Amino acid sequence: MGINLTGSKEFNRLENIVIIGNGGRENSLAWAIQKNELVKKVYLIPGNAGSERINKCERINIDINNDKELVEKLNFLKIDLIIIGPEIPLANGLADILRKKDFKVFGPGKDGSQLEYSKSWAKQFMQSANIPTAKFWKVNSLEEAKKIIYSESIPLVVKADGLASGKGVFIPESKDECFKSAELIFNGKFGDSGRVVVLEEKIQGPEVSVFALCDGQKYVLLPTAQDHKRLKENDKGPNTGGMGAYSPAPLLTETYLDRIINEIIEPTINELNKKNIDYRGVIYFGLMITESGPKVIEYNCRFGDPECQTIMPLMDQDFVFLLEKCSMGKLIGNERIDTLDKVSGCVIATSKGYPHEYKTGFPIKIGKIDSNNFQIFDSGTSLSKTGELLTDGGRVLTIVCQDKNFDLVFEKAYKNLKEINFDGIYYRNDIGHQVRKKNFTREN
């Protein structure tokens, strides 16, 4: 085990780490980071009720939009590395503010975050770098959208340009539905995020997620993953933030991954350089494997949820060094990420009604769990006055498990899930259906 740190054995102090965010993703990052013996404390701002169950972790309740107070607190705590989890603070330029104050930050600045916070910017970026992606039209008015929708013969997808918590994408079945979606966005459903609309050619194929940790110039890849976006079994129902995932994605053979590196990953990093964007953080490539090859569906400027919760338990204790090296612009680029010799899978337990309206505040009961190679990362929970764990979001718990093959992973995940209960608990029973009963192992 261990990252091959060829040429660099020196590390700075890495005692106090801050992770910004409050979801399952941030808890799983904290869980992986605290494994390193140099790390003494991991502070989550603000974290959630599950954060303090993680070794060395503490929550801090401070307004991240109050720069002065935040910087004072980080200085007081002698923070050695800051990891920014969610897209909103990244899009607001928090990484730039903290870097200016000489903190080491894992997370791109406002310029690099455009990859995620403006779909039209990202599409133009891909176009100029010749990166394969669906054909698109950037439109500024409903009139303009109408012309394209009714004159183009190909099926279209409609997207709000800006951040919309994963809800700004519509996959209509007809031209009229397509027009209605554009109308909804232009009528303000997503506020300023919908001032511009992107119409895209609808493409087809399985989706995979690839994560590159980037230091501005060089990058290393994390294990690949596949998630299940739809709410219902057999990948039906509305899109959600993700109902489960597995890693690695057997669909991406080494040869295919090489193609993705050559056609997508390296051209993306080169194009960022060409634009003088010093991108220090993770680039998430949401890809569709189409008949004509891999295409980018979207970029994210942060770790995907629930893929992050799935991948983190595979990381060994040197993972935090990689994040630190990215933050300093000091990756070697050929670091070998040794992972646990297992595969990993996760299932999300949600509140009844998610991704639409749901109620919170229900007590969570956890019975007898087989905790070997198994983690529960809280996604949306809180504590009652008496210390009882309560539901506090649509996505409540991420149940993660590692084993030799995906059958064993999901067998244990679902067995343990039977021991977890709250009023209205819902989860899909078929997560990983593509890789179950196939006995895929890391060796083959």
Whole-angstrom Cα distance, residue 297 to residue 207?
A: 9
Choices 57-65, 166-174, 275-283, 391-399 (CB under 6 A): range interacting with ligand AMP: 166-174
Residues 231-250 that bind ligand AMP (CB under 6 A): 239
* Distance in angstroms (rounded) separating the CA atoms of residues 23 and 87: 12
The reply to whether 157 sits near ligand AMP by the rule CB under 6 A is yes
Three-state DSSP at 141 gives coil
The DSSP line for 205-263 is S-EEEEEEEEESS-EEEPPPBEEEEEEEGGGEEEEEEEEEEEES-TTS-HHHHHHHIII
Q: Of 5-13, 165-173, 273-281, 393-401, which part binds ligand AMP (CB under 6 A)?
A: 165-173
Least Cβ distance, residue 126 to ligand AMP (angstroms): 12
In the complex, minimum distance from the CB of residue 395 to ligand AMP, in angstroms, rounded to a whole number: 16
User: C-beta of 70: minimal distance to ligand AMP in Å?
Assistant: 29
3-state secondary structure of 366: strand
Site map 35..64 versus ligand AMP, x via CB under 6 A: ------------------------------
- Span interacting with ligand AMP, options 186-194, 197-205, 208-216, 416-424, rule CB under 6 A: 197-205
398 pairs with which residues across the strands?
Answer: 348, 377
Q: Which is nearer to ligand AMP, 15 or 201 (CB)?
A: 201
- Closest listed residue to residue 137, CA positions, set 149, 128, 150, 125: 149
Least separation in angstroms between CB 60 and ligand AMP: 31
Please pick, from the candidates 15, 58, 207, 233, the single residue that binds ligand AMP as defined by CB under 6 A: 207
Q: What are the Cα distances from residue 279, in Å, to 25, 76, 213, 226, 362? A: 20, 27, 10, 24, 41
With CB under 6 A as the contact rule, the residue among 131, 203, 282, 399 that binds ligand AMP is 203
- Candidates 12-20, 69-77, 85-93, 163-171; binding stretch for ligand AMP (CB under 6 A): 163-171
301 binding ligand AMP? (CB under 6 A): no
Does residue number 286 form part of the binding site for ligand AMP (CB under 6 A)? yes
With beta carbons less than 8 A apart as the criterion, state whether 354 and 240 touch. Answer: yes
Sign of CA dihedral 117, 89, 28, 383: negative
Minimum separation from the CB atom of position 207 to ligand AMP (A): 5
Q: Single out the residue of 189, 202, 232, 352 in contact with ligand AMP (rule: CB under 6 A).
A: 202
Distance CA 159, CA 168 (A): 6
The span from the CA of 170 to the CA of 377, in Å, is 30
What is the DSSP code string of 14-42?
A: --EEEEEE-SHHHHHHHHHHTTSTT--EE
Closer of 37 and 173 to ligand AMP (Cβ) = 173
Alpha carbons 172 and 158: distance in angstroms, whole number:
8
User: Interface with ligand AMP includes 302 (CB under 6 A)?
Assistant: no
Alpha-carbon distance of 290 to 260, in angstroms, equals 12
Strands 343-350 and 365-366 come out as unpaired
Asked if 134 interacts with ligand AMP (CB under 6 A), we say yes
Nearer to ligand AMP, 200 or 335 (CB): 200
d(Cα 188, Cα 435) in Å, to the nearest integer? 41
Q: Which is nearer to ligand AMP, 199 or 400 (CB)?
A: 199
The least CB distance from residue 145 to ligand AMP, in Å, is 15
Q: Which of 33, 39, 45, 297 binds ligand AMP (CB under 6 A)?
A: 297
Q: How many residues bind ligand AMP (CB under 6 A)?
A: 14
Give the nearer residue to ligand AMP in terms of CB position, either 162 or 313.
162
The one-letter amino acid at 399:
I
- Binding to ligand AMP (CB under 6 A) within 251-280 occurs at none
- Give whichever of 91 and 203 is closer to ligand AMP, judged by the CB atom: 203
Site of interaction with ligand AMP (CB under 6 A): 134, 157, 166, 169, 171, 200, 202-203, 207, 229, 239, 286, 297-298
